[in-house]
């Protein structure tokens, strides 16, 4: 299989990508990493041996930059063209939920420090761990990450490749007890190559080409608009729409949520699936952390008898807004006409305000997860 760099250059030659110096530099670095991994080079180097590092642990890569800069595209190509089996790609939020579940089980054994055995379990049969969108926004994650990733990278010999909207120094910025998190930043900067993809072009927004995000009324024309947006954002061919992959999103507590269409950070749901079913804040937060863009189809005008649906919709919009998720929708009315009467209609006015702001150029230009 050809490596990432040859695939990247083929996309350039086919005019599917524009020339971008930072993107190409990242592709070249990832190509070199692929060659190291595929060669089976087992020499960890003098420093690695002194630190007790296991064999086959090439230096990782941390790619950061604003929304739409091609990070996910490069990660797609890297993972797809890496010809080893011992690889795993996972969204960072889902990974940390898994980590906390494993830690809880390990603590039940009362056998000492749970971090090393959990790291060993995660690393079993694995040489490369690739994360989408590393972001740290709670103290529970921050408190364990330095020790966990030190164990994964240095003790277990796992190479980490990740994307993020932020440089390492801005992770968990102003977070509670951030001093406990600083060793993790040091670990990244010492053990990984930090690459910026932070030029002026927002390729994702450019692909939308100024398309509207709120489409009313519900019908064939509105559906065609959000379908076009989906294909612009994901490169999935319109004629193959029936085969867009689905996903099971881990929402914690041993539960998962079915995502009918899930591709390259874009999810498609019906309003009925999200708000007519007994979902809650944890479900919506998992969606908001996992996807940079959410498309909701079939938002109805709600009356007093749909107060539960309206309340869930409020919670959903709050989660999307606070995580700067781009929202595209088909609806039977503009935001201010969705829930004019019924319990909570006064509070719904804040949701209307947020929905209007989410259509603005400033909101659309914000990076995923970049709350004020």
3-state DSSP assignment of residue 86: coil
56 pLDDT more than 70: no
Where exactly are the structural domains of the chain? 4-196, 203-365
* 32 or 68: which leads in pLDDT: 32
Nearest to 305 by CA among 335, 343, 346: 343
Pick the CATH number of 203-365 from 1.10.260, 2.40.128, 3.40.50, 3.30.70: 3.40.50
Give the class (CATH, top level) of 4-196. Answer: alpha beta
b/e per residue, 300-313, with b = 16+ CB within 10 A? bebeeebbebbbbb
pTM, full prediction: 0.60
Instruction: Tell me 155's DSSP state.
Output: I
Q: For 300-353, how does the pLDDT look when each residue is reduced to its tens digit (9 = 90+)?
A: 999 999 999 999 999 999 999 988 899 999 999 999 999 988 888 888 999 999
3-state DSSP assignment of residue 360: coil
| Beta-bridge partner residues of 248 | 258
Q: For 90-132, how does the pLDDT look when each residue is reduced to its tens digit (9 = 90+)?
A: 888 788 889 999 999 999 988 889 999 999 999 999 999 998 8
Q: Which residue has the tokens 């702001």?
A: 357
Q: For 358-370, how does the pLDDT look when each residue is reduced to its tens digit (9 = 90+)?
A: 999 888 877 777 5
What would the two tokens of residue 74 be? Answer: 């490069």
Residue 68, pLDDT score: 67
């Amino acid at each position: 299989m050809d490596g990432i760099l040859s695939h990247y250059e083929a996309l350039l030659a086919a005019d599917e990508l524009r020339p971008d110096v930072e993107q190409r530099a990242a592709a070249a670095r990832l190509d070199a990493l692929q060659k190291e991994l595929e060669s089976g080079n087992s020499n960890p180097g003098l420093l690695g041996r002194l630190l007790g590092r296991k064999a086959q642990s090439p230096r990782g890569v941390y790619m950061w930059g604003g929304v739409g800069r091609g990070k996910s595209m490069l990660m797609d190509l890297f993972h797809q063209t890496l010809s080893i089996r011992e690889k795993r790609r996972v969204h960072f939020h889902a990974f940390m939920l898994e980590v906390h579940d494993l830690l809880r089980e390990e603590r039940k054994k009362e056998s000492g420090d749970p971090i090393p055995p959990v790291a060993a379990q995660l690393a079993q049969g694995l040489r490369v761990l690739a994360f989408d969108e590393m972001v740290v926004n709670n103290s529970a994650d921050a408190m364990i990450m330095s020790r966990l990733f030190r164990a994964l990278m240095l003790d277990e010999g796992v190479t980490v490749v990740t994307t993020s909207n932020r440089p390492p120094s801005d992770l968990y910025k102003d977070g509670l007890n951030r001093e406990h998190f600083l060793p993790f930043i040091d670990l990244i900067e010492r053990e990984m190559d930090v690459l910026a993809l932070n030029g002026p072009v927002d390729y994702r927004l450019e692909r939308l080409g100024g398309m509207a995000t709120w489409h009313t009324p519900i019908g064939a024309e509105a559906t065609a608009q959000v379908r076009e947006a989906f294909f612009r954002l994901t490169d999935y061919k319109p004629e193959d729409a029936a085969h867009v992959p689905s996903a099971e999103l881990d929402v914690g507590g041993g539960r998962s949520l079915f995502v009918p269409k899930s591709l390259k950070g874009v999810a498609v749901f019906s309003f009925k699936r999200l708000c007519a079913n007994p979902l809650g804040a944890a479900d919506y937060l998992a969606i908001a952390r996992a996807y940079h863009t959410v498309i909701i189809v079939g938002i109805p005008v709600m009356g007093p008898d749909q107060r539960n649906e309206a309340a869930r919709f409020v919670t959903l919009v709050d989660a999307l807004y606070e995580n700067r998720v781009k929202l595209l929708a088909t609806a039977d009315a503009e935001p201010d006409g969705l829930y004019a009467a019924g319990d909570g209609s006064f509070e719904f006015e804040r949701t209307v305000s947020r929905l209007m702001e989410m259509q603005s150029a400033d909101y659309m230009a914000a990076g995923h997860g970049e709350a004020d």
